[in-house]
Amino acid sequence: MQCDELWSFVDHKGNKQWVWLALDVQTREIIGLHVGCRGRESAKALWASLPGVYRQCGVFYTDEWEAYRGVFPSKRHRVVSKQSGKTSYIERFNCTVRQRMSRFVRRSLAFSKCVFNHIGLLWNFIHHYNSSLPL
């Protein structure tokens, strides 16, 4: 599994919302999502959003962000740099989100006015993305 965060905002740029994502490397499906702050509470919420089978036996590759430590089991958590390529699929997905949804483009006039709509848009996109993957 690969995990990463994606910066966004709701209503104004001072209201930062971080999108926490988890991607299954084998199937390329997004398996976990949380929208919130960039702290440890959000890392815990991402962990809770993962299906049980991934929490029990998955190996997780993340960047060096401190919030992951202590939340992901240390035996199955690998902290890697971007140059290692171990988070390339989730980083590519973040770019896909920024390209396909105008609310996530930096310096855009499009933005969500409430968190509920922001999360709904994300779930709609992720559902479409996961269903369009080859079997």
Residue 33 confidence (pLDDT): 97
Question: How does pLDDT run along the chain (135 residues), one tens digit per residue?
Answer: 999 999 999 999 899 999 999 999 999 999 999 999 999 999 999 999 999 999 999 999 999 999 999 899 999 999 999 889 999 999 999 999 999 998 888 877 888 999 999 999 999 999 999 999 997
Contacts 24+ apart (CB under 8 A), 11-20: 11/111, 11/112, 11/113, 11/114, 17/115, 17/118, 18/42, 19/97, 19/122, 20/45, 20/46
How far, in Å, CA of 37 to CA of 16, rounded?
7
Residue 8 confidence (pLDDT): 94
What is the Cβ-side half-sphere exposure of residue 72, based on CA atoms within 13 angstroms?
29
Residue 119 confidence (pLDDT): 95
CATH of the domain spanning 2-118? 3.30.420
Residue 90 confidence (pLDDT): 97
